A and B are shown apart, each in its own frame.
Chain A
């Protein structure tokens, strides 16, 4: 029974109900939207804005250690102090009696300065400068690279406008020991030089994150932590012995000063493995304080420089003519101190002498340029280039050091008449210390040249050990040639005019000097200054270690005699370090003249 009177309220009810339902439906839709459809986003928002927090877990960059595991480069934490210039002002503190005292900004600045090593004025200037630039500035570095001790002391000041960023940094406990090899890092954590840079893949750590929810008072809500762990970098072991490295750096430092040279270096290589046990240089860099070194001293000259080797190459020529030219240590040639060859080339010795009947051994002992030039005629130029190449000249080394230089050896077809003879005694081509050491390694190691290495292994954080892949050893000369050249080189150290300076009592040693002329950059040679080298190995009867000492432009003594004292001490230290036993046999003397 619907009357007009009843219909109206009912319709109203229906309409009202419909409206209520519509609103309710709207709310439900919104509720589902919030709680179900977009729930994840909102949870994420709440995490970000209110509850959640995350922290970077810093992985530790791997250590660089020496052959015995001593740390050459380690990781520490440093802190950057950041000021909020806009909010800098006086501090309110409670004194001992519990009374509140206001400390003016000037005094706070002085307190800060005492800790950071700045004056109060300097600290105030940082703030004033930042404000002058931007009156609303809220960021200015107080000082970067604060130590933990400084950081804690600064926190104790209790200044709310002073905050800190923590960041991992490098420390080099041994300072400049092996600084030339290890290299260094920039303040922003990028490797800038040396092994830090070239072996970054091994050393690099991966940062992780820790996310969690915090309660009202900052306490972590239990069970909300989610951790993506950081992965530490690998430990890089070098073949270097740090104690030996220190000794040699100290030694070459003194020698460079004594001889008033530009620079100097010592390299020690284990004959049977090609492992570099020390590579010392002066001047060099202390990775803890890179700014103290000149730009040019921050790298490694040993690997970066090339030079004309001079007489050290006579041993390579001698090996070639024995191996391929049918010569022996007692084969003879007749040469005078100033010899003109059939093709018009002229070769002079460092001392004038009449025509001598030199043996090959005698040529090496007196380091006769004319003599070795005459001997070099027994093999063709192509053969000599072939041998030099197999000795590794112009090939670089297996180390692939940051910025490593490669020697320059022209093909035989480009040799002119003079170069044909100059190359026999190490002029007219260039080499590097690693190449020279590699070549002598072939002579010392029964004719097989071992690839040089400086990295022993990389131990990853999970314990896997990665050893670098090295090229195969190269057979350069026969075993018998190697033995004959070794015997001649021993006689060089026994009979040359500097023999008493290189002598090590109790041991048999062998080697050769080189006084290389230096290019003046205009197609000629510098007058009166040389790049001097002394390379040798011990024990001569069973070579274990190769030592090379170089000096760039020594002036007190200009010839390679300048290197002799340093070589003798270096080799002595090597023999002591590795407990090499003194000789029990006597050397065989070879005749100088036929």
Chain B
């Protein structure tokens, strides 16, 4: 028995109920798709494409820019290195001491301290008498190859190892040194 026949057999008893028949409505005529969708889709696709291209161009562009900037950074690094090389050694103690010596400054002997609480002078309380404990410029014993040829700031004709610069010391060598204090420093009276 075919499936159709079986179906017919089963539905046979229901035959008493008359099916309501009606005419199938005429399908509405398929409208033409709106042009706008197509346009939107196309424009969308094109926009995406364009955006992608623009982004790609921008990335490429910025990679060129990056390249330029990297180059610039490299130039600046070189410049920094050159400057660093230029000033290397200028902060060394030899250079400072030689400069100070050329100005006539001396490394004094034992220190004295002023105690603020009672104005007491601790230590020997003697002035430096013009003699320096080491001769930083005349007998430079600590070489520095970085600044061997660098002129001193305070004596452009000398270097840290170069000719000592004549500094006039007035009689007794106490010219620019204040006289020793005999009976304590005057202390400010504060309230």
Contact = CB atoms under 8 A, between A and B. Distances in A.
B112 to A, nearest CB: 7
A254 B134 contact: yes
Contacts of B7: none
A292 interface: yes
Contact of A177 (B86, B92, B107, B112): B92
B147 A148 contact: no
A173 B134 contact: no
Contact of B92 (A149, A175, A219, A250): A175
Among A171, A175, A177, A505, the one with the most B-chain Cβ atoms within 10 Å of its Cβ is A175
A220 B67 contact: yes
Contacts of B85: 76, 147-149
B146 A175 contact: yes
Nearest to B139: A254
Interface string B110-151: 111100000000111110000001111001111111110000
Contacts, number: 140
B82 A149 contact: yes
Interface size range on A against B = 35 or more
A173 B66 contact: no
A290 to B, nearest CB: 9
A288 B144 contact: yes
A282 B141 contact: yes
A572 interface: yes
Interface in B124-180: 124-126, 133-136, 139-147
A251 B133 contact: yes
Among A173, A252, A288, A573, the one with the most B-chain Cβ atoms within 10 Å of its Cβ is A173
B152 to A, nearest CB: 15
A220 B141 contact: no
B146 A504 contact: no
Given A152-B78, A220-B63, A254-B141, A573 B133 contact: yes
Among B84, B89, B134, the one with the most A-chain Cβ atoms within 10 Å of its Cβ is B134
A129 B88 CA distance: 36
A175 B66 contact: no
Contact of A222 (B59, B81, B126, B146): B59
Interface string B85-96: 110110111100
A289 interface: yes
A243 B89 CA distance: 14
B67 A572 contact: no
B111 A576 contact: yes
B63 A219 contact: yes
A257 to B, nearest CB: 7
Given A173-B92, A289-B143, A219 B123 contact: no
Interface string A204-228: 0000000000000001111000000
A584 B136 CA distance: 33
Contact of B139 (A148, A149, A242, A257): A257
B133 A569 contact: yes
B115 to A, nearest CB: 9
B55 to A, nearest CB: 11
Contact of A174 (B62, B64, B93, B125): B93
Contacts of B72: none
A141 interface: no
A581 interface: yes
A249 B142 contact: yes
B136 A250 contact: yes
B63 A505 contact: no
Interface in A378-405: none
A250 B139 CA distance: 8
Nearest to B84: A76
B134 A506 contact: no
Nearest to B120: A584
Contacts of B134: 247, 250-251, 254, 569
Interface of B: 59-60, 62-64, 66-67, 78, 81-82, 84-86, 88-89, 91-94, 97, 107, 109-113, 122-126, 133-136, 139-147
Given A148-B82, A177-B94, A506-B111, 12 more contacts: A171-B88, A175-B142, A246-B142, A250-B139, A251-B133, A252-B141, A253-B142, A254-B139, A288-B145, A289-B143, A507-B123, A582-B124
